[in-house]
Amino acid sequence: MIHSTFKEALINSLAPAAKWILSPARRGRINKSFPESIALILLVLLLGFLPFGVVTADTDVRLQLRWKHQFQFAGYYMALEKGFYEEAGLAVELLEGGPHALKPVEDMLDGKVDFAISNSGVLIERMEGKPVVALAAIAQTSPIVWIVRADSGIFTPLDLAGRRLMLMPPPESAELLAMLRQEGIRLEEMDLVPTTYSLDDLIQGEVDAYDGYSSNEPWLLAEKGVDYRLIRPRDYGINFYNDVLITRESLLESDPLMVADFVNASLRGWVYALENVEETVDHIQTHYAPEKAREHLLFEAEALRELIMPELVSMGHMNPGRWQMIGDYYVKMGMAPGPVVLDGFLFDAETAQPDYAWLMRWTAGGVMALLLLGILTLRYARLNRRLIEEGERRKAVEVTLMRKQEELYRLANTDALTGIGNRHSFEALANSELRRSQRYGFPVSMLFLDLDHFKEINDEHGHTAGDEALRRISRVIAESLRESDHFCRWGGEEFLVLGPHSDATAAMELAGKIRCRVKQEGIAYSPPLTVSIGVASGGPGDSLDSLLGRADRALYEAKNAGRNCARYVADD
């Protein structure tokens, strides 16, 4: 099978020559340049024998999915459904994962499958000497979390010490173990048990924490009416890639074009799936997962979109610096041997070069065929050089445009003084969280913060001192929040915090933490700089205005109570 891009280049390159040799004017002068004419005639005849027909899907490819059929693999389903694989000349078989297929890397290295889906723990396999190659990272942030019951008394990783934890086998659990070790928790301090893949063990109290996906199990718990809490590694500095498409070095070396075609078709499938969620969900439910509720698949699609971040990051993007950081974590935590060497681990589609040995075999017939090969090679080299130059020019323009768009976005959504979000960006994020709360029934909380006696500080010490105080307070508050919380400067010396999956108790704990840290910051003005906080909580049925109104009333009560305190106003 001739690669489609090379085939088209050859046809476009040789068409003028074929037309010229067959023209009446040229036939009249054929005897004046006999060798050249014979060469061109052989060229045309040779083209008639080359396999330039329709490219058929004659390369069999097997992809091992990471788990059972669900939206987590939507891009591969749609690449198959929409013919993207077929266009690339690939006949792809998708193999369902599950408890019976827990070693995709070993199956891939043994040649049982050609591609597999893993997580960032595949880097550990590479560092142990296994010839695995990362092709694309679909999830820019991992969905793997500890799930605990809301009544368990577990709020942070430190609370897991001495508890019974149900864990997936490595490398699936790599992020969770890295988080525990980073927080200083030794594995001997916990009772780790192999997973049974049954959420009932958590619901019935057989285990205290369950290794799950933020895109899957929360929906099941909500359907069963079980309150829960998520402990995310990214909230504690462990922000790894997930759902990484991988292959083995030997396959990449023997057929780089096929690997590149498979990756490109798969990424096209992912773009299509996220742009057509309703259609994709219907297709998955009809052909792959009829036992899954449609609402469950829609929940998973929305949760995964937040992790894939298609609006911000190119599909499948991998940053070598981030992989280096991930590897350094594994070495630091004693989970992999050092040093971290990424050479050969990350796939670069631009280095995948075709093998034209078949062309040499076709031209081995004689001098004329060799002459033909020279003509084709020169024409293709010039065409390829022009394509590369044009591609580089477009890439440079795209980079410039992307940087300008990022700068415009930053200016439109960031407070110029403090560098945190502004009112405009906060309203958009808060309304999005409230819509999700309405849909899935989780609680939200709001903190309305106001710096005490700020006007006196401005009047006595000047606006420069006031600006510096605002910047320091912004940093203190930001360092007190979770990654999932939203924070902005609402105006003047007022700040807002919106916390998804946070009830009144958690919100008041956060308010106390912020108030104490502001006081400890020791911004020594006269009077000393403190903060008053109004706290409100809500959930389905709340709007931004209603939640903000209650938080404002609570702030008023805190001011009347003497400042430097937090007050809570219950739901209307």
SS3 (DSSP) at 213? strand
Judge contact between 483 and 307, C-beta under 8 A. no
Cα(414)–Cα(422) distance, integer angstroms: 5
Kindly state the tokens that stand for 70: 């669900």
Mapping DSSP onto H, E and C, the string for 242-278 reads: EEEEEEEHHHHHHCHHHHHHHHHHHHHHHHHHHHCHH
CA 444, CA 434: separation in Å to the nearest integer? Answer: 8
Number of Cβ within 10 Å of residue 322's Cβ equals 16
**Is 494 labeled as catalytic in the residue annotation?**
no
Note whether 128 and 335 are within 8 A (CB). Answer: no
Query: Tokens 């939640």, residue?
Result: 547
Question: Cβ of 464: how many Cβ atoms within 10 Å?
Answer: 9
Measured in whole angstroms, the distance separating CA 428 from the mean position of its chain's CA atoms is: 22
316 by DSSP, 3-state: which?
Answer: coil
> Phi first, then psi: what are they for 188, rounded to 5°?
-70, -15
Cα-based angle 273, 403, 262 (whole degrees, multiple of 5) = 35
Structure tokens of 173? Answer: 């659990």
505 within 8 A of 561, measured Cβ to Cβ: no
Strand locations in 28-67 (E): 59-64
Cα 124 from Cα 167, distance rounded (Å) = 18
DSSP 8-state class, residue 83 = T
Residue identified by tokens 């003509």 is: 375
Residues 6+ apart with CB under 8 A from 417: 467, 470, 471, 489
Strands (E), 29-126: 59-64, 90-95, 115-118
The three-point CA angle 454-456-461 to 5° equals 100
Distance CA 126, CA 133 (A): 8
∠ CA 229-234-235, nearest 5°, is: 60
Distance (Å, rounded) from C-alpha 422 to C-alpha 419? 9
| Residue 289 main-chain phi, psi, to 5 deg | -135, 65
Residues in the chain: 572
Catalytic-role residue among 96, 253, 493, 509: 493
At 3, list the tokens: 């690669």
Residues taking part in catalysis: 493
